[in-house]
Structure 1
Amino acid sequence: MRYERADLMIGTVQEALQEIVEGRHGDPFSILGPHQYGDLTVIRALLPAAISVDVVEVGTNRVLTRLETIHAGGLFAGAISSPTRYLFRINWPDAMQETEDPYALGLLLGDLDLHLIAQGTHYDLGRTLGALPMEIDGVQGVRFALWAPNARRVSVIGDFNSWDGRRHPMRLRPQAGVWELFIPRLTHGERYKFELIDAHGNLLPQKADPVARASEAAPSTASIVASAKPFRWSDEDWMRTHRADRALDGALSIYEVHLGSWLRITEEKNRPLDWVELSQRLVPYARDLGFTHIELLPIMEHPFGGSWGYQPLGLFAPTGRHGTPEDFAYFVDRCHAEGIGVILDWVPAHFPTDVWGLARFDGTALYEHEDLREGFHKDWNTLIYNLGRNEVKGFLIASALEWLEHYHVDGLRVDAVASMLYRDYSRNEGEWIPNEYGGRENFEAVEFLKHLNSIIHHRCPHAFTVAEESTAWPGVTKRLDEGGLGFDFKWNMGWMHDTLHYMQDDPVYRKYHHSAMTFGMIYAYSERFILPLSHDEVVHGKGSLFGKMPGDHWQKLANLRSYYGFMWGHPGKKLLFMGGEIAQEGEWSHDGSVHWDLLDRPDHVGMQRLIRDLNSLYTREPALQFSDLDATGFEWVVADDVENSVYGMLRSAKDRSSHVLIISNLTPLPRKDYRVGVPAGGRWEVMLNTDAAVYGGADLGQIEARAERQQTHGKEFSIPLTLPPLATVFLGWTG
């Protein structure tokens, strides 16, 4: 049937057609696709560079009509006599393509989804926004959805349309500011971005998908359509039996890792290991050393490797540097199979300014604050999330849940919490905006963190949260109903700074700073603390832990061994950055590897064995676990021996069935017949001595001691000890 050209223009005006051709029209569904005009179904398609376009009936493969060119810019149109399902047969200069019409479909997202997105309470954004392979009306393809409420036009671009923003403009759902489009016959693995025109008609830089679940590895910046196929987990027992309270009550010893520099393959252009290789090498290594958890510096996709992941842009995507999202899930699954939990560093405090990322995403300050006094970190040259906006809060919480629920991650360590809590963080007078009461507290951030912890603990009982909060903000780990922020743990930065400063002193001068090692116990139970010797202490010219220790090579190792012993004996959960377990001598470099060649030397192997034995003792001894968080299980036995630089801690199990005495002699002089008060008579056996020969020590000290009824340190019983130099000794009561 032949129609007049005017029939194909029904309901349109020349200006709208021109805007469609130029990619400026904000409502493509009003022009493209099928439109009913009386008895006619007029079909329009924008296919620049196509030679011809036939409309083919689905099922019969019958050509219903050939579309005519109604604009030289590639706009085709034709009419059929009755509505029916059809597809396009497109003759391109170098190929023939058959595909369904993306503009023949109705609305894609439901009203409830849109309502929750606008409210900031849609916590499954990774399966709602972004790119999702699915089937609609029997057609396989990918549904794209993007929050960009202030854009005039949004298009999906990728290899599938030659990165031409005219080809696949999206439909706006104005009640939530979300754009949507289903593109038939696409599948996972496709590269894509979004092309946006702002409210003033300006073409913005191409944007990566904020909710992409896979991304190209840097320096490439495209998002990738992730597979919708569920991962086949084998950790059902782990997820059923492991709850956050196990981390609170039991041993928690964390191996902190920057994956890109744990081990590199020098023979292959110094490449880092992929997720499968890490499963085969890192996981059994951490298990062998007795760590309960591996903590990964941020693995969310980030453009600059030198940020170590702390400036991420892809909060839903594991970095492509180590493989696919499925490979990351495999890594977590293997950790659980080996009895190791996984903690991820996660950054809701700020994001980088890269033009293809979140910065002024739709031409406005969408994710960030408009006012730089609230929205810019000078320290890191990054933008700050606007936590007063519901959609931004929902975006961040959905990201957290993506890792905990879809990847079975066991914990999130929230980075830079102090920078969120204080409006004047690292700002001079006049560079910040006070809160409504004139104060420095950021109430929006406080409420966000509380809500984050509430949602995580409600939906993810297996998971715990950790705050890296460097000030004395009260109640970081208190329950929400007690007025706290609701975190499970907080890094004890004060303990770390005090004790490291002390250990860097020459032993001759340590007596003048004796309280640095005891001060932490004054506030040790004000929060639930993790004692961190983290990456921050071995970079930016700070040297390695080994390098901080005074003395010659042997003394450096002895000092470090004694310090580790003091740390494992001290109340608080434990965290050690990679390389510390072998006493790496040089500073950490994110472009290199741990200095594994040191394991050719027996004294560094001894340090590694010490960490293994400390973890083993910690995980099997209830007395070393109970008083991590409960003051009734701890007391100083020796806290004031300034002249000898000796410290004595007593740790007891909840039922007092076991006691462990930890004695540290932090001078190079052995102490003979050093009498220490103990709570019970009988035999006290040495459980671990950091000066043992197997660790590289001089093997001074004794195997056991018997308590005598001689009052010392306020105790009825006491034991005489030989304290090795620069050493920490653990003694257990055996009755």
Structure 2
Amino acid sequence: MEAILRGQTGDPFRHLGMHQPEGKGPVTVNVFAPDATEVEVLDAKGKSVAPLERIDPEGFFHGTMARKRKRFDYRLKLRNAAGHEWELRDPYAFGPVMGELDEYLLGEGRHEELYRRLGAHPVTHEGVEGTSFAVWAPNARRVSVVGHFNAWDGRRHPMRRRGATGVWEIFLPGIGPGETYKYEIVGAYGHLQPLKADPVGFYAQNPPETASIVHGMPRHEWTDDGWIEARATDQRKEPISIYEVHLGSWRRTLENEMLNYADLADQLIDYVGEMGFTHVEFLPVSEHPFSGSWGYQPVGLFAPTSRFGDPEDFARMVDKLHNAGIGVIVDWVPAHFPTDAHGLGQFDGTALYEHADPRQGFHKDWNTLIYNFGRQEVANFLRSSAIYWLKELHIDALRVDAVASMLYLDYSRNDGEWVPNRYGGRENLDAIDFLKGVNQASHDYAQGAQTIAEESTAWPGVSRPVSEDGLGFDFKWNMGWMHDTLSYMAQDPIHRRYHHHHMTFGLVYAFSENFVLPLSHDEVVHGKGSMLNKMPGDRWQKFANLRAYYGFMWGHPGKKLLFMGGEFGQEREWNHDQSLDWHLLDDPHHDGLRKLVRDLNGFYRAEPGLHRLDCAPEGFDWIEGGDTENNVFSFLRKGEEGDTPVVVVSNMAPVVREGYRIGVPQGGTWRERLNTDAAAYGGSGTGNGGTLRALEEGLHGQPAALSLTLPPLATIFLTPE
């Protein structure tokens, strides 16, 4: 009794509830109800069986049912000092919710859908409605559910420990959706931990509040079966053009208030559909306490952020986007997690999710903790999160953040600040195994789902299947291409001849991985300037440079990604607390750039030669990649047999080049299909109107030749009739 009153009991079901000592004799009932002055036991029909005696002034009640020789279904009737009466079911009258198989799989670290058992689930258990709670805290001495329903008093609802698994569970009758809760944990060394949010919670309070909310898995009837079935193709051969979005700052109201999931769905469908992007990619939408982290420091890996609505609202948004023909990618962050007191750090009084050694468990760059990928339960937790987003929320792809920081033990560390692996090397062997496992599980549990790595090093085989000794991702961001080409574009055109290789070097390794070409949020923050203001020259030249660069990018092998605002030339750096500057579209230069991106997407999607062999060397040939004197690049994009070839020519000098000759794969009539210098886009209107005749003269290793007018600072696309 003293242990219960002090909140020190780790085995509450042994003492609380109904008991029959040694299976014979009268039944006894023990209840801890500190807000009651009287407690009475009722039978299933509501008839009084016996009052309980208050044997401690803090609210411990005990009674013997002298006439009851068998355990029976009962309720409790309570009365407080003010005379108020209420009835409830005793949580300690119910058996476990989890079965033995769940316990076994959790203990083995192989419960890939652990979210179906851990967390808070509104259920009917033993014929009674309530909520089952389950949490992993293997080193805790006591774990309790606390909330408004028990005055946040951890003594009232301590949980049952399930053997060696380290999982604690309890069923609370009468508790339903909408109740806020946390876990109160007495740690391994007897210290009371800060109240913890549910690691497998499905819904949370709107920050800065930090409690979890009883919700269960989203209750949404999906209507996107056709989409899910159709996406199960070889995505390397499909056009993929991604619009990267931060939901909190894409658009806001006039009062600078964020839109909700419903409004975002409708407006994104209209805009993204018009612009021709195939996918939207959301910066992390997992629940996170600090908005300034943009979601990259999450605490709720199973909870879409409540900033924009509840989980059903999120699911409806995904469903609507799918039905509009738009894929959904979300950023997923297994590389690190924040130190917020209500989060995973020192969860049960020990380094449970993280490494105890800061040389392994702490990121100095981000002041965050690093998961212990070698602990099977932690790896299982993270894999299950990935499966949850892909299978239960129908996400089409996970873009996995900061993979390089996971792969290398010495990532951003000096000598003496890291621990070598068992072979003395710098590779994080546990993280490698984890990434392979999460990629395999993602493909196994979600038909046609993809994974994309943000990985900035030359690690081999990132997008090669695990069966071929790769990491198992489907695609990898091409950070080298982004860095090199932006470095080139920042040069004054008069100096670009000395940096020509920055535009061509990417083709040396372009097919070593399945690449996405990213112009992401990271390039328009922290003093890097907007995409437009990275470009040299006067205002006209800035727009012309950016249009030419986008043309080069959409012609280049690799899938495309553009951060919001880049499509219309946002002038200031991105600010996560403000809407994009949509008023800029009143300016013809900005609107012209937007129209160009729209038409690039349309052309890219319509021409198999620009996407069918994006990830295969057979899809690309240089026509002339070495014209350093003229700052001109010309290349050929090819699809599979029968697909029309596409010629791409970029003139990165601010002068018109008349009579510029290039080799082409066939003679006859050719047509300029898209020109980034067109007047409709804000350009000078210089180009090759009408049709062109390719002469049967060999040039650049091709059987025919075209004579072109190259517009200034522009990219043109040509196809044969």
Q: Distance in 2 between matches of 1:523 and 1:97?
A: 72
Match of 1:428 in 2: 414
**Does 1:327 find its partner at 2:313?**
yes
Offset of residue 656 of structure 1: 4.5
**Does 1:622 find its partner at 2:608?**
yes
Offset of residue 90 of structure 1: 1.7
Shift in alpha-carbon separation, 1:324–1:556, aligned structure 2, 3 A: same
8 Å CA contact 1:158–1:192 kept in 2: the answer is yes
Match of 2:437 in 1: 451
What is the CA deviation profile of residues 8-67 of structure 1, one whole-angstrom value per residue up to 9, with x for unaligned ones?
xxxxxxxxx111112111111111000113331110111112122121111x21111111
Offset of residue 266 of structure 1: 3.2
More deviation, 724-733/199-208: 199-208
Match of 2:374 in 1: 388
The one of 311, 315, 327 equivalent to 1:341 is 327
Match of 2:163 in 1: 174
What are the equivalent positions in structure 2 for 1:110-259 lying under 5 Å apart? 110-228=99-217, 230-243=219-232, 245-259=233-247
8 Å CA contact 1:453–1:465 kept in 2: the answer is yes
8 Å CA contact 2:516–2:560 kept in 1: the answer is yes
What is the CA deviation profile of residues 640-677 of structure 1, one whole-angstrom value per residue up to 9, with x for unaligned ones?
11010000010112104311000000010000010111
Look up the SS of the partner of 1:732 in the other structure: strand
Q: Distance in 2 between matches of 1:553 and 1:283?
A: 32
TM-score by length of 1: 0.96
The one of 331, 344, 356 equivalent to 2:342 is 356
Q: Distance in 2 between matches of 1:99 and 1:249?
A: 60
Look up the SS of the partner of 2:20 in the other structure: strand
Q: Distance in 2 between matches of 1:227 and 1:435?
A: 40
Offset of residue 733 of structure 1: 1.1
8 Å CA contact 1:189–1:227 kept in 2: the answer is no
8 Å CA contact 2:46–2:75 kept in 1: the answer is no
Match of 2:707 in 1: 720
Offset of residue 710 of structure 1: 2.2
Look up the SS of the partner of 1:392 in the other structure: helix
Match of 1:709 in 2: 696
Q: Distance in 1 between matches of 2:320 and 2:234?
A: 20
Q: Distance in 2 between matches of 1:222 and 1:229?
A: 18
Offset of residue 200 of structure 1: 2.1
8 Å CA contact 2:259–2:308 kept in 1: the answer is yes
**Does 1:479 find its partner at 2:465?**
yes
Offset of residue 156 of structure 1: 0.2
Look up the SS of the partner of 2:92 in the other structure: helix
Q: Distance in 1 between matches of 2:358 and 2:112?
A: 29
The one of 468, 476, 484 equivalent to 1:498 is 484
What are the equivalent positions in structure 2 for 1:12-161 lying under 5 Å apart? 17-37=1-21, 38-58=24-44, 60-80=45-65, 81-82=67-68, 83-93=71-81, 95-161=84-150
Q: Distance in 1 between matches of 2:571 and 2:556?
A: 25
**Does 1:511 find its partner at 2:515?**
no
Q: Distance in 2 between matches of 1:290 and 1:55?
A: 67
What are the equivalent positions in structure 2 for 1:298-313 lying under 5 Å apart? 298-313=284-299
Q: Distance in 2 between matches of 1:140 and 1:401?
A: 28
Q: Distance in 1 between matches of 2:275 and 2:281?
A: 14
What is the CA deviation profile of residues 248-306 of structure 1, one whole-angstrom value per residue up to 9, with x for unaligned ones?
21100000001111011232xx2211100101111221111011100000000011111
Shift in alpha-carbon separation, 1:134–1:516, aligned structure 2, 3 A: same
Q: Distance in 1 between matches of 2:327 and 2:105?
A: 32
What is the CA deviation profile of residues 575-627 of structure 1, one whole-angstrom value per residue up to 9, with x for unaligned ones?
00000011101100111111101011111111111111000001110100123
The one of 315, 340, 351 equivalent to 1:365 is 351
Please tell me the residue identity of whatever aligns with 1:252.
Answer: I
Displaced runs of 4+ in structure 1, greater than 4 A? none
More deviation, 324-333/621-630: 621-630
What are the equivalent positions in structure 2 for 1:503-582 lying under 5 Å apart? 503-582=489-568
More deviation, 73-82/686-695: 73-82
Q: Distance in 2 between matches of 1:169 and 1:85?
A: 21
TM-score by length of 2: 0.98
Match of 1:3 in 2: none
Look up the SS of the partner of 1:536 in the other structure: helix
5+ residue gaps, structure 1, are 1-16
Offset of residue 174 of structure 1: 2.2
Please tell me the residue identity of whatever aligns with 1:167.
Answer: R
Offset of residue 221 of structure 1: 0.3
Q: Distance in 2 between matches of 1:119 and 1:612?
A: 50
Match of 2:451 in 1: 465
Q: Distance in 1 between matches of 2:226 and 2:474?
A: 23
More deviation, 152-161/198-207: 198-207
Look up the SS of the partner of 2:654 in the other structure: coil
Please tell me the residue identity of whatever aligns with 2:18.
Answer: P
Q: Distance in 1 between matches of 2:706 and 2:695?
A: 6
Please tell me the residue identity of whatever aligns with 1:589.
Answer: N
8 Å CA contact 2:202–2:217 kept in 1: the answer is no
Match of 1:699 in 2: 685
8 Å CA contact 2:218–2:315 kept in 1: the answer is no
Offset of residue 229 of structure 1: 6.3
Q: Distance in 1 between matches of 2:227 and 2:114?
A: 26
Please tell me the residue identity of whatever aligns with 1:513.
Answer: H
8 Å CA contact 2:162–2:168 kept in 1: the answer is yes
Please tell me the residue identity of whatever aligns with 2:240.
Answer: L
The one of 602, 607, 620 equivalent to 2:593 is 607
Please tell me the residue identity of whatever aligns with 2:403.
Answer: V
Shift in alpha-carbon separation, 1:229–1:430, aligned structure 2, 3 A: closer
Q: Distance in 2 between matches of 1:150 and 1:229?
A: 31
Number of residue equivalences:
714
Offset of residue 92 of structure 1: 3.5
Offset of residue 125 of structure 1: 1.6
Q: Distance in 2 between matches of 1:384 and 1:585?
A: 36
Look up the SS of the partner of 2:650 in the other structure: strand
Offset of residue 93 of structure 1: 5.0
Task: Report percent identity of matched pairs.
Answer: 55
What is the CA deviation profile of residues 510-551 of structure 1, one whole-angstrom value per residue up to 9, with x for unaligned ones?
011011100000000000000000000000000000010011
Q: Distance in 1 between matches of 2:225 and 2:664?
A: 45
8 Å CA contact 1:624–1:653 kept in 2: the answer is yes
Offset of residue 228 of structure 1: 4.9
More deviation, 119-128/614-623: 119-128
What are the equivalent positions in structure 2 for 1:593-604 lying under 5 Å apart? 593-604=579-590
Match of 1:406 in 2: 392
Q: Distance in 1 between matches of 2:241 and 2:300?
A: 29
Q: Distance in 1 between matches of 2:544 and 2:86?
A: 72
8 Å CA contact 1:149–1:174 kept in 2: the answer is no
Look up the SS of the partner of 1:286 in the other structure: helix
